[in-house]
Structure 1
């Protein structure tokens, strides 16, 4: 995998990583804005942010094979790897976007590739949790 510097992608005004995931070190629940984030601007404590935030890069940032359609501000989703799990966090303001193309087909392809390695794809949207199955039409 290439790094964000090698892909020439940047966060720009995206701050979904400050909203969608739970960040225990900051006592930030999932789907809530971090108290240190200025939406569209970024982190107010950037030099002193927790290590988890320092280490985080979404899949769109670090993997040049992930299409432009998956840019978080476009897709309304944040995708990242957690060990054997590919995690997909869907903005609860756009709960069905993952069922649309190209996302639905891409998720099934990612699930197929993950399964071949003994891994899996899990999607979270609000209180809903869906395991994406390879080659199966995605549905909630």
Structure 2
């Protein structure tokens, strides 16, 4: 469903992956810029970054079915898959954006598709954690 493919997309000035997730290997809490992250530029230790960072795949960047409106710079969200879980991390300053069109409709549709495959979607928005249920 949401799998990486070839793409010409680039991070550009996006550094959400340096800020939104917690990174145990770097003792970095969620929603704080990593000590190695440079706003608007990216990782200052990219070539020697830890394995957890190397294993991370931004689904928008990887050319999945995510349209241009999912560009993290504009959506204020980053999406990634880990096993059966698809995670949506939302910038705390825009915690409700995932509940607006077109995002909420797409996330709900993904929840239905993933459930059929044994998967699910979790949204982290500020301090709120939501498991998205498919429509009844």
Q: What TM bracket, shorter-length normalisation?
A: over 0.9
Calculate the aligned-residue CA RMSD, in Å: 1.2
Distance (whole Å) between structure 2 residues aligned to residue 122 and residue 32 of structure 1: 20
Q: CA deviation at 1:2?
A: 4.2
Partner of 1:30: 30
Distance (whole Å) between structure 1 residues aligned to residue 72 and residue 135 of structure 2: 24
Partner of 1:122: 122
Alignment of 1:1-140 (within 5 A): 1-3=3-5, 6-135=6-135
Q: Secondary structure at the match of 1:62?
A: coil
Q: CA deviation at 1:70?
A: 0.7
Give 5+ residue unaligned stretches, structure 2: none
Distance (whole Å) between structure 1 residues aligned to residue 10 and residue 66 of structure 2: 14
Q: CA deviation at 1:19?
A: 0.2
- State the TM-score, normalizing by the size of structure 2: 0.93
Aligned pairs, how many? 134
Q: Secondary structure at the match of 1:47?
A: helix
Give 5+ residue unaligned stretches, structure 1: none
Distance (whole Å) between structure 1 residues aligned to residue 128 and residue 92 of structure 2: 10
Runs of 4+ in 1 over 6 A off after TM superposition: none
- State the TM-score, normalizing by the size of structure 1: 0.91
CA offset digits 1:39-80 (Å, max 9, x no partner): 011111111110111221211112332111111111101110
